[in-house]
Amino acid sequence: MPEAQNVSFPPSFLWGAATSAYQIEGAVRENGRTPSIWDTFSHTPGATAGGDTGDTAVDHYHRYRDDVALMARLGLNAYRFSVSWPRVQPTGRGPAVQAGLDFYRRLVDELLSHGIKPSVTLYHWDLPQELEDAGGWPERDTARRFAEYAHLVGEALGDRVDQWTTLNEPWCSAFLGYGSGVHAPGRTDPVAALRAAHHLNLAHGLGTQALRAVLPARASVAVSLNSQVIRPLSQQPEDLAAARQIDDLACGVFHGPMLHGAYPATLLDATAPVTDWSYVLDGDLATAHQPLDALGLNYYTPALVSSARNAPEGPRADAHGASAHSPWPGARDVAFHQPPGDRTEMGWTIDPGGLHELIMRYSREAPGLPLHVTENGAACPDKVDDDGRVRDPERVAYLHAHLAAVHRALADGADVRGYYLWSLMDNFEWSYGYAKRFGAVYVDYATLDRTPKSSALWYGQAARTGQLPPVDAF
């Protein structure tokens, strides 16, 4: 893609970065916090690369003031972070622990004092272990517990936070956590995965209701979906059918109930050999279908699929980790192919056109609903040079191309209000441990010192000016 020239974003555009609690906070045993499913999973032998855990992560819990000051120096005007459920409600039931809520009060106050808009995500995968022991997301009661938790956090922070997200990437929670087992809690049951998906839809609806009961009218409530861009290998009918089946499982399973109040009929038909969906009770879909104030879209790479008879050799190329168990219930007749093009360190094909395609799709799916790109970024082979700098031209090029795609969507009429780079800094990358670096800020894991990479300086200039600098500016 040629470099965009004179690309200017609206003055009100939010230039942010995103993180999640378990990936950065550490302090897993302080002030009453109890284990989440990721604490348990990361301490399971063989579950993460190198046996890495988030016990310390990058110690944001103790270093948050310095991290906020760094954001301010870079010029960011928004920060999306998640609240650790077991830090504020350790068992997933009962009253909040004020020491846990106080950490987030202090963090929000620090952000506001630097002119940075806080954006709170209630759930980024760290279910309290006690709730998983009681059945986890495949059980209806977990959705009720989430609503109680949402009420507690909304009541505590609603006076100072205007932007709220219920769930981050519920697809990963359901299908990687309960289907393929590459994410916590590491279960491999396709029925449990579909049950979890439904109860996450229900949790979103109940959580939205709980937030609206305590938040001021000015507050915005959203959800962040990692709906995928699914492309067929060919225009043959069997490949088109494969793409439709995966699109239902990747996208429709959540945006159907949340945006339209129904599951796609084609999804129900394709998964009928797996489940009868009897756990969907009267009123559930109406509850999931709460009016939203915004929609978050997370994008990294497209998927290329075909019928199974065109299957390539080798492991499943769906960009969702290696497992003998599929995260795609009922899709045995579908094959995944590696899309052509350059790749990041994750092996994910770089395709900024997919971000434009995703934004325009949801402009049609949810007309009139403001959109935010709540995650987008790349893992790169970052290292510290002899002069102490960290140069990451691959990431700069990635950001330039994807932000140009966002700008093109704006020009095409999409109502995109903000972009959140994933991630602010290097951190615990789930089952990959500390082996993959997504941060714009380099973290020395031995000392935990932070060093802004070239991409951080480039992105900071874009944030301050509202224009995309040349890719070689830094």
Which residues are the active-site residues? 169, 375
Q: What is the DSSP string of 19-36?
A: --HHHH---TTSTT---B
Rounded Cα distance, 400 and 403, in Å: 5
Backbone angles phi, psi at 223, to 5 degrees: -135, 150
Question: Letter for the amino acid at 384?
Answer: V
Specify which residues 221 forms β-bridges with: 164
Whether 15 and 418 have beta carbons less than 8 Å apart is answered as: yes
Which tokens sit at 282?
Answer: 């009267």
Q: Are strands 117-123 and 78-82 parallel, antiparallel or unpaired?
A: parallel
Note the helical H segments in 233-366. Answer: 237-247, 253-255, 265-270, 284-288, 352-365
Backbone angles phi, psi at 311, to 5 degrees: -65, 135
Whats the size of the chain, residue-wise? 474
* Cβ neighbourhood burial of 383 (10 Å; 0-12, 13-18, 19+): exposed
* Cβ neighbourhood burial of 115 (10 Å; 0-12, 13-18, 19+): exposed
Give the alpha-carbon dihedral of 223, 411, 16, 381, to 10 degrees: 100
The widest CA-to-CA distance across the chain, in whole angstroms, is 64
Q: Which of 7, 37, 71, 3 is nearest to 439 (CA)?
A: 71
23: Cα separation from own chain's centroid: 12
b/e 94-112 (16+ beta carbons within 10 angstroms → b): eebbeebbebbbebbebbe
Helix pair angle (98-113, 140-157), 10° resolution:
50
Rounded Cα distance, 20 and 468, in Å: 26
Specify which residues 165 forms β-bridges with: 121, 222
Question: Letter for the amino acid at 437?
Answer: R
Which tokens sit at 434?
Answer: 């500390």
Rounded Cα distance, 33 and 250, in Å: 33
Write down the number of H helices and E strands in the chain: 16, 13
Which tokens sit at 135?
Answer: 């059945």
